[in-house]
Amino acid sequence: MQPRRGRLTVEFRCRLASPSGEIVEGVYLADTEARLRHELEEKGLYVLSLQAKGAVGGLPIRLKKSSIASREFLVFNQELATLLKAGMPLVQSLDLLKRRVDSPVFRSVLNDVHERVRGGAALSDAFSAHASLFPSVYTASLVAGERSGSLDTVLRRFVEYTKIVQTMKRKTISALVYPIILITLAVALVAIIVLRVVPAFSEFYAGFGAELPLSTRVIVSVSLFIQRQVLLLTIGLGVTVGGMVLWLRRPGQKARFDRAILHIPMLGDIARKFATSQMARTLATLLGGGLPLVNALDIAAKSVGNQFIASELDVVGVRVREGASFAGALEARRVFPEVAVKMAEVGESTGALQDMLNTVADFYDEEISTNMERFVTLIEPLLLVIMGIVIAGLLLALYMPLFQLSSVLS
């Protein structure tokens, strides 16, 4: 069963009976239960039971779109490219590979893709029917491969492109793990001191009846305020986070947020380079498959994670469609790095734009790795110093009355 493009798809567990009396169980994708039931009955199957996967009492509780694991998707494309290169027909290749898939969602999609291709549809059209589950770069690559007659080559190029992008994402996330752990530990330690240790010291000092130092009074007051208003503070934090999420979901706001990120020292430079690398590698992959530059720009704009850069790339696509040069359109936006613009200009003038774009992507991937290492090298000791100062300040403020008391007693 195939979902309509752009619609929310739901997995349904079905128990069916064939006209011969055979009982079949499986998982199918559809927009609605009524549509799935209608399509199954049209095929001559009797629906014994049909329930949305993850439903309770017949009411579905899944609210997000189905997804396919990227690793399984890459393995499928690698194997499909190998079978096609070996000379196996596309229909037989799909029939073989769909049996090897573990994910019920992906298996259901491949069943539908196989049926469509066997019925005469192009592979790109078959996957386009499930556009919400696959990146736009993939379906565009399939179109380019079908037009050029080198589908296996395009599939291998797409796999290589995806591996490189995922590797860069993993490196970026790995570099940020340790600073995040440090920040989390610091916040947890300060919270324990403020909510547990400070009240104990406060009760101890109250027995002396002496006036506490200003720093100690401030910490005790903050601790009491947090303890008394913990529910209000939690609600306020939840409302703030929820409001921020809703604001980002409004049209155009995510682009404004991403634009602000580009102005953050160090991180903004890394984000700009990562978006440029994404753009360049996507364009190179699509151009290598034979797709025109104008169409490749439209698809590349959708693949870039930074929405502000994506909107600027949309403008570049419009300028190129009007007859401007690619490098000139990039330079006019004043958003993309100068090195990328110059290399694109050289690529256009020499007729080797695809190779230049790959060079740009490789160059900025190296730059990102270097910048991330430099950022982590700088931020780790800085975080440790800040943690030490904050915790030492808290402990000093707590123990200062004891020092004063000991000096009075002596």
pLDDT digits (tens, 9 = 90+) for 134-151: 887 888 888 878 877 788
* Inside any domain, residue 167: no
pLDDT band, residue 209 (cuts 50/70/90)? low
Q: What is the pLDDT of residue 49?
A: 73
**Nearest-angstrom CA–CA distance, 94 and 114:** 6
Higher pLDDT, 145 or 92: 92
According to DSSP, the β-strands at 59-60 and 55-56 are: antiparallel
Q: Spell out the residues 6+ positions from residue 391 whose beta carbon is closer than 8 angstroms to its own.
A: 186, 189, 190, 193
**Nearest-angstrom CA–CA distance, 155 and 123:** 12
Higher pLDDT, 362 or 207: 362
User: CB of 159 within 8 A of CB of 78?
Assistant: yes
Nearest Cα neighbor of 122 from 99, 153, 145, 101 is 145
Identify the sign of the CA torsion 93, 97, 99, 100: positive
pLDDT digits (tens, 9 = 90+) for 356-367: 998 998 898 888
* CA angle (371, 376, 381) in 5-degree steps: 140
**Containing domain of residue 391, as a range?**
173-405
What is the chain's mean pLDDT, rounded? 82
Mean pLDDT confidence for 279-289: 85
Residues 310, 363 share a domain = yes
Mean pLDDT confidence for 210-215: 77
pLDDT band, residue 5 (cuts 50/70/90)? very low
Mean pLDDT confidence for 312-320: 91
Nearest Cα neighbor of 295 from 125, 145, 140 is 140
Residues 150, 100 share a domain = yes
Mean pLDDT confidence for 228-254: 88
Higher pLDDT, 28 or 106: 106
**Nearest-angstrom CA–CA distance, 255 and 312:** 10
pLDDT above 50 (res 343): yes
Query: What phi and psi values does residue 362 have, to the nearest 5 degrees?
Result: -65, -40
Nearest Cα neighbor of 330 from 354, 348, 350, 306 is 348
Q: How far is CA 366 from CA 64, 174, 362, in A?
A: 36, 16, 6
pLDDT digits (tens, 9 = 90+) for 10-57: 677 777 777 776 777 777 777 677 777 778 888 877 777 777 654 433
Residues 372, 308 share a domain = yes
* Inside any domain, residue 236: yes
**Nearest-angstrom CA–CA distance, 29 and 10:** 6
Q: Spell out the residues 6+ positions from residue 405 whose beta carbon is closer than 8 angstroms to its own.
A: 208, 210
Higher pLDDT, 405 or 89: 89
Q: How far is CA 186 from CA 192, 226, 402, in A?
A: 10, 18, 25
Residues 234, 155 share a domain = no
Residues 292, 191 share a domain = yes
List 52's β-bridge partners, or say none.
Answer: 12
What CATH number has the domain bearing residue 26? 3.10.20
Residues 231, 302 share a domain = yes
pLDDT above 70 (res 9): no
* Inside any domain, residue 309: yes
User: CB of 387 within 8 A of CB of 186?
Assistant: yes
Q: What is the pLDDT of residue 318?
A: 92
Residues 331, 395 share a domain = yes
* Inside any domain, residue 19: yes
Q: Spell out the residues 6+ positions from residue 346 whose beta carbon is closer than 8 angstroms to its own.
A: 356
pLDDT digits (tens, 9 = 90+) for 51-88: 765 443 333 333 344 578 888 888 999 999 999 988 88
* Inside any domain, residue 65: no
Q: What is the CA radius of gyration of the chain?
A: 29
Residues 279, 157 share a domain = no
| Residue 28 three-state SS | strand
Residues 230, 177 share a domain = yes
Residues 237, 91 share a domain = no
Alpha carbon of residue 340 to chain centroid = 24
Alpha helices by DSSP H, listed for 12-135, are: 33-42, 70-85, 90-98, 104-118, 123-128
Look at the chain and report how many structural domains it folds into.
3
Mean pLDDT confidence for 147-171: 83
Amino acid at residue number 185: L
Residues 288, 369 share a domain = yes
Mean pLDDT confidence for 201-230: 81
What CATH number has the domain bearing residue 155? 1.20.81.30
Torsion of CA 374, 376, 378, 381, to 10 degrees: -150
Mean pLDDT confidence for 102-119: 87
pLDDT above 50 (res 256): yes
Residues 153, 15 share a domain = no
Mean pLDDT confidence for 161-176: 81
Domain ends where: 162, 188, 218? 162
Q: What is the pLDDT of residue 21?
A: 66
Mean pLDDT confidence for 282-304: 84
pTM of the model: 0.65
Higher pLDDT, 8 or 40: 40
- When mean pLDDT is compared across 79-88, 199-208, 377-386, 400-409, the lowest value belongs to 400-409
User: CB of 57 within 8 A of CB of 83?
Assistant: no
Domain ends where: 24, 41, 60? 60
